[in-house]
Amino acid sequence: MDKNNTLNVLRLISAVFVILYHSCPLTGNFSSLFEILTGISIGTFFIISGYFIIQSWFSDPTPSRFLWKRVIRLVPELAAMVIFPIFFIGPINTRLSLQEYFFDKEYFYRSIGNMAVVMILWLNFAFEFSKMI
């Protein structure tokens, strides 16, 4: 297996642990060992990802092209990760009516803020009154 493939497998495993860690507030499954493993996984994920970003820079060290490549690499994924929870996960988990959920002004502004990469850590009523919790 080539070096980049091995690093991608390690990064994938680390990413799975990061996702599991972020699911803990929903499931209530916390343990010391799990927190230690996920902490290590988060660090591993960022170190390997940083390595790939630096590798990308060294392959084409022109700032404008590097930035453009980062944008076209990240924006589609960001859009998917913002749109999916807003339109699919939120409506399934909220106890509000769909009209209340989608036509609330605060919800609209928070959704736009998330799309603009503003750190908003709250999806309009999606988990506050969740059927899952």
Lowest mean pLDDT among 19-28, 49-58, 59-68: 19-28
What mean pLDDT value characterizes the chain?
Answer: 77
Handedness of CA 6, 10, 11, 15 (dihedral sign): positive
- pLDDT score for 131: 47
Of 54 and 90, the structure prediction assigns the larger pLDDT to: 54
Specify the residue for token string 């929870």. 85
- pLDDT score for 133: 45
How many angstroms separate the Cα of 4 from the Cα of each of 10, 12, 43, 48, 55?
Answer: 10, 12, 18, 10, 11
- pLDDT score for 74: 85
pTM of the model: 0.59
CA distance 50 to 48: 5
Q: What is the pLDDT of residues 98-113, one digit of tens each?
A: 888 788 777 766 666 6
Q: Which DSSP state fits 124? A: T
